[in-house]
Amino acid sequence: MRPLVPELRFPEFKGPWKPARAGDAFRNSKAKGEAGLPIYSVTQDRGLVRRNSLERHMGADAADETNLRAQPGDLVYNMMRMWQGAVGMASEECMVSPAYVVLSPKKGVSSKFFDYWFQNRHMLHQLWAYSHGMTSDRLRLYYQDFAKIPLALPDQPEQEKIAVLLDASSRKITLLTDKKAALEDYKRGLMQRLFSRELRFTRDDGSAFPDWEERKLGEIATFFKGKGISKSDIVEGGALPCIRYGEIYTHYRERITEVISFTDDDPASLFLSEIGDVIIPASGEDRMDMARACCVAIAGVALGGDINVLRSPVNGSFLAYYLNNARRREIANLGQGISVVHLYPSQLKTLWVELPHPDEQQKISSALSAVDGKIDALSQKISEMEAFKKGLLQKLFV
């Protein structure tokens, strides 16, 4: 039996929480929609949001009188995705799909408290356990089953204080995320100005650098291919750092200074990086996704199969930034294939690039790397705050 006192608690509150069921906290509201009210949808990552803010295509709206109406403070959940956290609190009077369930809080219940409680790992398990269906994609949580879920309730003042603490954590994460997005926008704008030469650096003595030179990529780089490293070859704590081609899409920026994967394969059988190598995927499902370059700023990293490796006297970091911003679409257009797109060295060699003086390459690379450093620092802070909030969610609830 689970204890009725949370692991972490404000000192002014004493005594156990009261045993209850979800139906003691919420009633099922079936108020009908009304013309003119905004339509909201439930998401798993953003809660309840205006439908027109979603990028994905939505089907035709139900008639107003068929939709359900939610009042500010009501919780709305998707019957098929509640066990995955698809729930959110209404911030204004609105309409939602008749396929949703609208929970109206009873007296003494803080909706915000429960909005967070539904993110708790134990509660998510309960939501799954009380859902019905033959397979996970058919699970549904009807209100009559939701109402049976056992829980423990603190008094409303404690509910509200817990919600305030978690709100503060959420706001901190939002502020950091917004700041990171602003820096990423700044980086994109800076790259456009640098590579269009709207913005130029000068020499240390203040004099101008010479004009950029146009060259074919095949004239300035030697091309290699990585050697296969399968998923099964990845070993936690392995002796040899490695990069697989799929990680270029998902984990790395233009400059790689730390790797996430390791292997115990024999280095003699693999292709190892030199500092400044530029890597580009050799295959992928989407042309624009695979048109991505990264500079490996570490020697001795095993580079997996399906990776094009460019080795050049050109500053590798500069080249990766340049290719990603100024030549990405051209690289994408070089790919061949439909369901699987292939990008060969013979194609990349034909790509025209414009190169500044080596000292200007270094200044551009340093400026953009500095911005990336700030973005990475914010990413680390966001991860730490998310872990802190996750810990609170486990300790503040019964």
Chain segment 235-270, per-residue pLDDT in tens = 999 999 999 988 998 899 999 999 999 999 999 999
The predicted structure's pLDDT at residue 1? 55
Which parts of the chain sit beneath pLDDT 70?
1-3, 55-64
Convert the pLDDT of each residue in 171-204 to its tens digit: 999 999 999 999 999 999 999 999 999 999 999 9
Residue 280, burial from CB neighbour count under 10 angstroms (0-12, 13-18, 19+): buried
Whether 18-153 shares its CATH topology with 213-355 is answered yes
pLDDT for the residue numbered 60 = 45
According to CATH, the superfamily of the domain at 213-355 is: DNA methylase specificity domains (3.90.220.20)
CATH superfamily of this structure's domain 18-153: DNA methylase specificity domains (3.90.220.20)
Closest by Cα among 372, 374, 323 to 352 = 323
pLDDT confidence of residue 289: 84
Identify the CATH homologous superfamily for domain 156-209+356-398.
Bipartite methylase S protein (1.10.287.1120)
pLDDT number for residue 63: 63
- pTM for the whole structure: 0.84
pLDDT of residue 4: 86
Between CA 98 and CA 66 the distance in angstroms is 7
Rounded distance, CA 292 to CA 331, Å?
8
* Cα gap 326→349, rounded to integer Å: 16
Listed by start position, the domains of the chain span: 18-153, 156-209+356-398, 213-355
